[in-house]
C-alpha cells in the first residue's frame, strides 16, 4: 500500500476559507487523484493555527491573523463527510506542552503530526517573521532547529514528525553550516529512537527552493539505522499535489531497504508493505 498522510485540503493563504475547501466534493477530488496514483491511505492534517482554539496554545501574530475556523467543526466534517483519516499538523511550541496536550486530548485523532516551523517567534520557512538574515549564524539556527525537533519528539505528543529538516527549505537562498550536517541530525535521531515516533519522508521539499526530499539522504540513513518507522507524505495543499513526485521517494526508500510504511488508525500504528 501507499500512503499520503499529512494532506491539507486548502492552500495556506488566509482567504482560502473552510467553507470553500472543507466540502465533501473537495475531499472527493483528493480521493480521485489518489486513486489514479495508486495511493489508498489518505490522511488530512490541517494546520492547527488556522483554528481559533490554537490561540489557547500560542498568540503569535501569524496565528492571531490566521485563526478563523472551529477545530471541532473540522473534526466533525472529516469524520462524518469524508473517508479520510483525521489528523492535525500541530506545531510544537516549547513551553506550551500542556496547552497542546489539552487541545489534542479533547479530540479523537487518527494521527497527530508534529512540526517545527518557528524558533521562538522567528519563522524558518516563511518570508514574514523570517529568522534568516537577522544576524544569527546558520550554525546556531541549525543547531537550535534540530534540538527543537528532538524536544518535540520527546514530548510524546506526536505520532509522526513532519519534514524533519525543514531548516534547509530555502536551499542556497539561506546560509548553511559548513560542517558535516550529520552533526546536527544526531540529537534529533536520538530523540526519535528513544520516543518511538514515526519519521516522515516528505516530497514537499522537492517543490521548495531546496529541491530535495525531507529528510536528506544521510539523515534518513541515520533514522533507519536507529530503527525508526517511516511515514510517507506529500504535504499536498491541492489535489494535484497528492503523491507529488512519489517515484523519487519510492526509489530512495527502495535503495535504503525500506519495505514498509506506517499506517495510523485512532492513534494506533501498524506497518504495511509498500506497493
Ligand atoms: Zn509543515
Ligand atoms: Zn503541512
Ligand that lies nearest to the alpha carbon of residue 10, given by its number in the listed order: 2
Ligand that lies nearest to the alpha carbon of residue 117, given by its number in the listed order: 1
| Distance from the alpha carbon of residue 223 to the mean position of ligand 2, in angstroms | 21
| Distance from the alpha carbon of residue 202 to the mean position of ligand 2, in angstroms | 10
What lies within 8 Å, CB to CB, of 29 at 6+ separation is 239
Q: What is the pLDDT of residue 33?
A: 97
| Distance from the alpha carbon of residue 163 to the mean position of ligand 1, in angstroms | 7
| Distance from the alpha carbon of residue 162 to the mean position of ligand 1, in angstroms | 6
Alpha carbon 6 to chain centroid, angstroms: 6
**Bridge partners, residue 5, by sequence:** 233
Ligand that lies nearest to the alpha carbon of residue 47, given by its number in the listed order: 2
In 3-state terms the chain splits into helix, strand, coil percentages (rounded to 5) of 40, 20, 40
Q: What is the pLDDT of residue 71?
A: 98
Ligand that lies nearest to the alpha carbon of residue 9, given by its number in the listed order: 2
| Distance from the alpha carbon of residue 266 to the mean position of ligand 2, in angstroms | 20
**Per-position pLDDT tens, the chain of length 275:** 999 999 999 999 988 889 999 999 999 999 999 999 999 999 999 999 999 999 999 999 999 999 999 999 999 999 999 999 999 999 999 999 999 999 999 999 999 999 999 999 999 999 999 999 999 999 999 999 999 999 999 999 999 999 999 999 999 999 999 999 999 999 999 999 999 999 999 999 999 999 999 999 999 999 999 999 999 999 999 999 999 999 999 999 999 999 999 999 999 999 999 98
Q: Is the pTM of this model over 0.85?
A: yes
| Distance from the alpha carbon of residue 161 to the mean position of ligand 1, in angstroms | 10
Ligand that lies nearest to the alpha carbon of residue 234, given by its number in the listed order: 2
| Distance from the alpha carbon of residue 45 to the mean position of ligand 2, in angstroms | 7
Collapsed DSSP state (helix, strand, coil) of residue 195: helix
- Could you tell me the three cell numbers for 170? 530555502
CA distance 104 to 250: 31
Say if residue 231 is exposed, middle or buried (CB neighbours under 10 Å; 0-12, 13-18, 19+).
buried
Q: What is the pLDDT of residue 15?
A: 86
| Distance from the alpha carbon of residue 235 to the mean position of ligand 2, in angstroms | 5
CA distances from 63 to 10, 15, 193, 202 (A): 17, 14, 31, 24
Ligand that lies nearest to the alpha carbon of residue 162, given by its number in the listed order: 1
Cβ contact 196:172 at 8 Å:
no
CA distances from 126 to 55, 129, 262 (A): 20, 7, 29
Closest by Cα among 222, 220, 224, 233 to 263: 233
Q: What is the pLDDT of residue 14?
A: 85
In the block, residue with C-alpha cell 475531499: 27
- Could you tell me the three cell numbers for 165? 529538516
**Bridge partners, residue 42, by sequence:** 4
Q: Nearest-5° angle of CA 99, CA 120, CA 192?
A: 70
| Distance from the alpha carbon of residue 243 to the mean position of ligand 2, in angstroms | 14
DSSP string, 166-188: GGGTTGGGS---SS-THHHHHHH
In angstroms, how far is the first alpha carbon of the chain from the final one? 5
CA distance 171 to 82: 37
CA distance 161 to 149: 8
Q: What is the pLDDT of residue 211?
A: 98
| Distance from the alpha carbon of residue 258 to the mean position of ligand 2, in angstroms | 23
| Distance from the alpha carbon of residue 63 to the mean position of ligand 2, in angstroms | 15
Interaxial angle between packed helices 24-36 and 71-81, expressed in degrees from 0 to 180 and rounded to the nearest 10: 60
Amino acid at each position: 500500500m501507499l500512503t499520503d498522510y499529512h494532506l491539507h485540503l486548502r492552500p495556506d493563504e488566509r482567504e482560502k476559507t473552510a467553507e470553500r475547501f472543507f466540502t465533501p466534493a473537495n475531499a472527493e477530488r483528493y480521493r480521485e487523484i489518489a486513486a489514479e496514483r495508486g495511493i489508498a491511505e489518505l490522511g488530512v492534517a490541517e494546520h492547527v493555527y488556522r483554528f481559533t482554539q490554537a490561540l489557547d496554545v500560542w498568540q503569535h501574530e501569524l496565528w492571531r491573523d490566521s485563526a478563523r475556523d472551529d477545530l471541532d467543526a473540522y473534526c466533525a466534517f472529516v469524520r462524518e463527510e469524508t473517508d479520510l483519516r483525521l489528523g492535525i499538523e500541530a506545531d510544537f511550541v516549547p513551553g506550551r506542552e500542556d496547552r497542546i496536550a489539552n487541545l489534542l486530548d479533547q479530540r479523537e485523532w487518527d494521527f497527530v503530526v508534529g512540526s517545527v516551523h518557528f524558533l521562538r517567534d522567528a519563522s524558518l520557512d516563511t518570508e514574514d517573521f523570517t529568522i534568516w538574515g537577522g544576524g544569527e549564524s546558520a550554525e546556531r539556527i541549525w543547531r537550535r532547529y534540530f534540538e527543537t525537533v528532538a524536544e518535540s519528539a520527546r514530548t510524546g505528543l506526536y505520532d509522526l514528525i513532519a519534514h524533519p529538516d525543514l531548516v534547509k527549505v530555502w536551499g542556497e537562498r539561506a546560509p548553511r553550516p559548513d560542517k558535516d550536517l550529520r552533526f546536527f541530525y544526531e540529537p534529533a535521531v536520538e530523540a526519535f529512537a528513544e520516543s518511538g515516533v514515526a519519521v516522515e519522508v516528505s516530497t514537499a521539499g522537492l517543490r521548495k527552493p531546496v529541491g530535495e526530499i525531507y529528510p536528506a539522504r544521510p539523515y534518513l540513513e541515520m533514522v533507519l539505522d536507529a530503527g525508526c518507522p517511516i511515514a510517507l507524505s506529500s504535504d499536498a495543499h491541492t489535489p494535484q499535489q497528492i503523491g507529488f513526485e512519489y517515484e523519487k521517494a519510492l526509489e530512495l526508500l527502495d535503495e535504503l531497504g525500506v519495505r514498509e510504511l506506517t499506517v495510523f488508525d485512532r492513534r494506533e500504528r501498524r506497518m504495511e508493505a509498500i506497493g
